[in-house]
């Protein structure tokens, strides 16, 4: 069961990826985790990635793909994996397909967690984080007992820069330009499945498990 998760920032694909991994006993693989693990372990690929990251540069596609393929070769991926956060562009998707094919391998499914932009702006714009302890809340879905105060420590709640409406809109623009074409790519590959990400987390997961089972 080799799955790639697609969806706009804030669509909830990361949450669903973790739930899939837990239910089916396969690893949840994100590029961020791979970078951190390789850097921590001082691998050759990790050292190369660190050189770019230390300069605030994006890790090149070729290196990112090498790290991902190295991760796929590990024993815990023998029954599959959930890939989250890669590919982000058509070039990355084509390179991933080619690398898998070279190993007589292929993805089984690409799952698109579909959420309209206006829902995402509402979701992310309503998030609040405690400046003291990092606790997270949402003005609509998980409001604090006292407005603007953390339930856990009483600290001040603030909106992160990443969650400001103008920032979210910019991120969505980038997503639609670069990542949305992946929907068409995996549709042509015949492996795309779409779920309604506006539903409750557990309802979305039920839709996904119905596809996987």
pLDDT tens for the 213 residues of the chain, in order: 999 999 998 899 999 999 999 999 999 999 888 999 999 999 999 999 999 988 888 899 999 999 999 999 999 999 999 999 899 899 999 999 999 999 999 999 999 999 999 999 988 889 999 999 999 999 988 999 999 999 999 999 999 888 888 999 998 998 999 889 999 999 999 999 999 999 999 999 999 999 999
Q: Which two structure tokens, joined as six digits, stand for 99?
A: 């690398």
Distance CA 62, CA 55 (A): 18
Distance CA 179, CA 117 (A): 14
Q: Are 144 and 150 in contact (CB under 8 A)?
A: yes
Examine the residue annotation and report whether 193 is marked as an active-site residue of this protein.
Answer: no
Q: Are 168 and 124 in contact (CB under 8 A)?
A: yes
Per-residue model confidence (pLDDT) at position 159: 93
Examine the residue annotation and report whether 160 is marked as an active-site residue of this protein.
Answer: yes
Cβ burial of 141 (10 Å; 0-12, 13-18, 19+) is: exposed
Instruction: Write down the catalytic residue from 23, 101, 160, 170.
Output: 160
Instruction: Write down the catalytic residue from 36, 48, 50, 171.
Output: 171
Backbone angles phi, psi at 112, to 5 degrees: -100, 115
Instruction: Write down the catalytic residue from 18, 48, 88, 199.
Output: 88
E strands along the chain, which residues? 2-6, 28-30, 81-84, 109-114, 127-130, 136-138, 157-158, 192-196
Q: Are 132 and 26 in contact (CB under 8 A)?
A: no
Examine the residue annotation and report whether 127 is marked as an active-site residue of this protein.
Answer: yes
Examine the residue annotation and report whether 171 is marked as an active-site residue of this protein.
Answer: yes
The contacts of residue 100 (CB under 8 Å, 6+ apart) are 106, 107
Superfamily grouping for domain 2-26+79-115+171-212: P-loop containing nucleotide triphosphate hydrolases (3.40.50.300)
């Amino acid at each position: 069961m080799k799955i790639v998760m697609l969806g706009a920032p804030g669509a909830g694909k990361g949450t669903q990826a973790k739930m899939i991994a837990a239910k089916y006993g396969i690893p949840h693989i994100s590029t961020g985790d791979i970078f951190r693990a390789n850097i921590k372990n001082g691998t050759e690929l990790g050292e190369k990635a660190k050189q770019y990251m230390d300069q605030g540069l994006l890790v090149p596609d070729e290196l990112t793909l090498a790290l991902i393929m190295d991760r796929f070769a590990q024993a815990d991926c023998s029954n599959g994996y959930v890939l989250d956060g890669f590919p982000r562009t058509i070039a990355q998707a084509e390179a991933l397909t080619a690398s898998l094919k070279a190993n007589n391998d292929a993805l089984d499914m690409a799952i698109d967690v579909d959420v309209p932009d206006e829902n995402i702006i509402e979701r992310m714009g309503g998030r609040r984080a405690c400046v003291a302890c990092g606790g997270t809340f949402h003005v609509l879905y998980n409001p604090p007992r006292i407005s603007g105060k953390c339930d856990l420590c009483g600290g001040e709640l603030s909106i992160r820069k990443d969650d400001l409406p103008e920032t979210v809109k910019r991120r969505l623009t980038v997503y639609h330009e670069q990542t949305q074409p992946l929907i068409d790519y995996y549709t042509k590959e015949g492996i795309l499945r779409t779920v309604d990400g506006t539903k409750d987390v557990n309802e979305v997961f039920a839709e996904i498990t119905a596809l996987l089972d």
